[in-house]
Amino acid sequence: MRKEICILSAVVILALSLSMFAQQGAQNAPAPPKLPAASLIFREDFKATKEHEVQLTQDLLTNPNLELKKYGPGAKPGNADQSGLLLSNEEDPTHPGKMDTMVWTGVVEGSWAVMLRDKNNYLDLRDTGRLRWRLRQRSLHQVRPVIKLSDGTMLVADYEEPLSTYFRESELYFVDVPRWRTLDPATVQDARPKPGQGVWKYDVDFSKVDEIGFTDLMIGAGHGTQGNVAVDYVEVYGTPVKRAVSQSQAR
């Protein structure tokens, strides 16, 4: 009995010693580097045109540092104002006399995604990185954020803005998105997961985002209907990460 008590006491003392050693090690470990507070990297308002609706093209961006990227069958150049992604100019019913310029999806004929790419920087959207925008989504058409990582992976958020008859401003922190799903850039539909991987991504690395944008994963319901998405402006907050300069650019 005395021998068993001695062994038990030794085990307890050893366990306590290891616990104290681990606590001291954790206290002495250097704290992880603190990320800088997110700041405005870019804003895009889209240019007003004289016509009511025109095809959405690169020359209609207001920010010269941005590239317009369009994905999916619904994003292909359309016919006048009868198909394709459009830029629409409308009077704002909540501010009579004020004109709004918006990306409008009422006549897209397939899935689509509108993406913006900073020519000079990747986007570090960790910590306080966020998206701020003014948008209107009607019927079952709800906007979801989309990101494209530096390795080419395109992801759509398991997050959708609430429906709204009129424009509303909203702000979204990327760390608050619970999970993401991989998109096929050609179809803007679910991509098949790689062997051994699940269909959802829970731990996305936001440190090097190449492009950012939005989709509703749906076709438009046509003119004179409520089935569409409209986005007035987009602001992205985070930390810019300089892109590497290629040899051809350096010449």
According to the 3-state scheme, what is the secondary structure of 188-251? CEECCCCCCCCCEECCCCCCCEEEEEEECCCCCCCCCCCCCEEEEEEEEEEEEEECCCCHHHHC
pLDDT in tens, 132-152: 999 999 999 999 999 999 999
In which band, very low, low, confident or very high, does the pLDDT at 36 lie, cut at 50, 70 and 90?
A: confident
Q: Which residue has the higher pLDDT, 16 or 35?
A: 35
pLDDT in tens, 86-136: 999 999 999 999 999 999 999 999 999 999 999 999 999 999 999 999 999
Q: Which residue has the higher pLDDT, 67 or 3?
A: 67
Tokens of 50: 């004289």
The pLDDT value given to residue 21: 53
The pLDDT value given to residue 120: 97
The pLDDT value given to residue 225: 85
pLDDT in tens, 156-176: 999 999 999 999 999 999 999
Average pLDDT on 64-74 reads: 98
pLDDT reading at 81 higher than 70: yes
Please state the domain extents for the chain. 39-244
Q: Which residue has the higher pLDDT, 196 or 62?
A: 62
Gap between the Cα atoms of 210 and 203, Å rounded: 17
Q: Which residue has the higher pLDDT, 31 or 61?
A: 61
Average pLDDT on 49-77 reads: 97
The residue type of 164 is S
Q: Are strands 99-104 and 86-91 parallel, antiparallel or unpaired?
A: antiparallel
CA distances to 122, 199, 245 from 191, in Å: 24, 8, 31
pLDDT in tens, 175-227: 999 999 999 999 999 998 888 888 899 999 999 999 999 999 999 999 988 89
In which band, very low, low, confident or very high, does the pLDDT at 25 lie, cut at 50, 70 and 90?
A: low
The pLDDT value given to residue 22: 53
Q: Please say whether the structural domain 39-244 has been given the CATH code 2.60.120.430.
A: yes
